[in-house]
Amino acid sequence: MPKALVAHFRRWLVWIVVSCFALGTLSGCQVFQLKVASAQVPQLVLSSLSDPKTFNAVLSQESNDVLPLIGEGLITENGLTGEVEPALAKSWEISPDGKRITYTLKDNLKWSDGQPLTVDDVLFTYNDIYLNKAIPTDFRDVLRIGESGALPTVRKLDDRRVEFSIPEPFAPFLRVTGAGILPKHILEESIKTKDSQGQPNFLSVWGTNTQPLSNIVVPGPYTIESYRIGERVILRRNPYYWRKGSQGEPQPYIERIVIQVVESTDTNLLQFRSGGIDVTAVTPDYFSLLKREEEARGFKIYSGGPSLTTSYISFNLNQGKRKDGKPFVDPIKSKWFNTLEFRRAIAHSINRQQMLNNIYQGLGDFQHSIIPVQSPYYYSPKDGLPTFDYSPEKAKELLLSAGFKYSPSGELQDAEGNRVRFSLITNAGNKIREAMGSQLKQDFGAIGIQLDFNPMAFNALVDKLDNSKEWDCLLLGFGGSGVEPNNSFNIWAVDGGLHVFNQGPKPGQPPIEGWQVADWERQISSLYIKGAQELDETKRKAIYVEAQTLVQEYLPFIYMIQPLSFSAVRDRVQNVKYSALGGSLWNLHELKIQE
């Protein structure tokens, strides 16, 4: 699943701002014309590699640059420190036994249509949507507590207070309530009514074809003003947003945000350099060029230390079958992928140093865990986390020990004489990943494996992961889920919505014939449950150390490079407080445009 799949449930902003229209094209001229035509309105121009698939955050399963700007939860997280801070709730109290959290809402909260935002909206959001089994949302995985997967109960105490009760202590629960609150007065009817298949009409509301877009009523700093497929999303400041400046002035200060939809990181570079967009992530291949141009072109490159994102390859370990009896993965290939020595050989065959030097320009380090180095739960190789050094010789030894063999011409074959050949997919347009795929083709070739590298449109890739499940190997990454390990629980839970390497049936779907879950998978899932239950920080760390060790031993993900985090921001954008944790725009409400 694409990078950042739990990110839109976090109120702090992890920005992966990529690509704009190519310089010199008609679309590039449109960017210039848009800025000139609205020069009197303070606006920020961003960019995104793909169109949003939905404006419904509950159903979204991929990175979506719009959703963090329109949503708001009870709490948020400080983008510099990671500390929990008030959002729609002005305060909270945790009971001595850790099983109840009582939130008190801020005064005079309103939706973007001017209607009051109340405790009833909080109850509706959780009881009727997030906890409703008829609504297939990955967020419910994050709410599950303990071995039983029990869900919280939510009740109204009075007009200002709402109480969340959980069956046992759950260390990450306070952070979980950063999930966006939804308007009861707009969406209640869609929950009660059903379509011709008996599904709640909610499953089809707030799609990208919603008209008028003002029907998408939100609590966040911006509302959706317009959307043109393949071109741009325009957001307008929410006049009813709750935040105020030091003098009582309404925030955010920036009136409009334009998110351009573009096709590649190369065009992003061209448009940023020409002044067409205001903020861009700085990838290693562009760092030196942009660094030389900072002063002349009127921008600054901010450094945030190691990125919180992951990069990995993963094999499809799913041994299940479709309804027609056809396996998701060719049984011959599936046997390879589910052989531990094969995955370890692949890990040894990857020349990460070459990847770091040539593709990342030395701006990063080897990655070994989904938990970022900023987290207190990170387990480093220095402390004992298993790693895989680059050694084609070790890779070949492992393959031979597992029954593989080499032909006279050096081609790797399995015990039955089948040539070892498989495909690797990633999202097209991501220059870094395309370069990584090209190197992996060479690295695997050095141990006799033929790799077919197939970058594809992002939406087509998501369809393979979620629906057809017909893929061999995946090169992708997860977006920044923060320093709390439980934010990645739906990746490690055996029935989690992002358990991509062995995806089970979605909620409400029938069992998958032949689907098998390995003991180590169940053990990692169990450890994440225990880690969330444990309130003692030392014991929590030990649990996540064991989980990280198991991941490295069994390699459902083979991690690549953790790049350093950089962002280039125009000098006209004031009050930027950049960090790897929060990105460039986590404090968007404080940013100002100075022409």
Q: Is residue 26 part of a domain?
A: yes
Question: Starting from the edge strand earliest in sequence, which strands make up the sheet with 450-456, in order?
Answer: 450-456, 421-427, 473-476, 312-315, 558-559
Q: Quick count: other Cβ atoms within 10 Å of Cβ 62?
A: 22
Would you say 28 and 47 are in contact if contact means Cβ atoms under 8 Å apart?
A: no
Is the same domain home to 572 and 434? no
Residue that is last in its domain, among 477, 512, 534: 477
Is the same domain home to 294 and 414? no
Our count of domains for the chain comes to 2
Residues of the chain where predicted confidence (pLDDT) is lower than 50: 1-39
Is the same domain home to 316 and 239? no
H/E segment holding residue 31? helix 26-37
Q: Is residue 324 part of a domain?
A: yes
Q: Is residue 372 part of a domain?
A: no
Would you say 400 and 582 are in contact if contact means Cβ atoms under 8 Å apart?
A: no
Q: Assign 3-class secondary structure to 221-286.
A: CEEEEEEECCCEEEEEECCCCCCECCCCCECCCCCEEEEEECCCHHHHHHHHHHCCCCEEECCHHH
DSSP string, 498-515: T-GGG--PPTTSPPPTT-
Would you say 564 and 276 are in contact if contact means Cβ atoms under 8 Å apart?
A: no
Secondary structure (3-state) at 587 = coil
pLDDT at 40: 65
570: Cα separation from own chain's centroid:
25
Tokens 């809402």, residue?
105
Residue that is last in its domain, among 458, 477, 496: 477
The pTM score is 0.74
- Look up the domain containing 395 and give its range: 312-350+388-477
What would the pLDDT profile of 378-433 be if each residue is shown by its tens digit?
999 999 999 999 999 999 999 999 999 999 999 999 999 999 999 999 999 888 99
Would you say 245 and 251 are in contact if contact means Cβ atoms under 8 Å apart?
A: yes
Longest Cα–Cα distance in the chain: 78
CATH of the domain at 341: 3.10.105.10
Cα distances (Å, whole numbers) of residue 448 to 350, 393, 410, 515, 558: 13, 12, 6, 30, 19
Q: Is residue 88 part of a domain?
A: no
Is the same domain home to 294 and 323? no
DSSP 359: I
Is the same domain home to 277 and 335? no
Is the same domain home to 232 and 337? no
Is the same domain home to 256 and 340? no
Is the same domain home to 246 and 324? no
Q: Is residue 254 part of a domain?
A: yes
Tally the residues of the chain: 595
Q: Is residue 376 part of a domain?
A: no
Backbone angles phi, psi at 222, to 5 degrees: -135, 155
Residue that is last in its domain, among 446, 462, 477: 477
Would you say 16 and 489 are in contact if contact means Cβ atoms under 8 Å apart?
A: no
> Pick from 76, 236, 223, 104: which is nearest to 163 by CA?
104
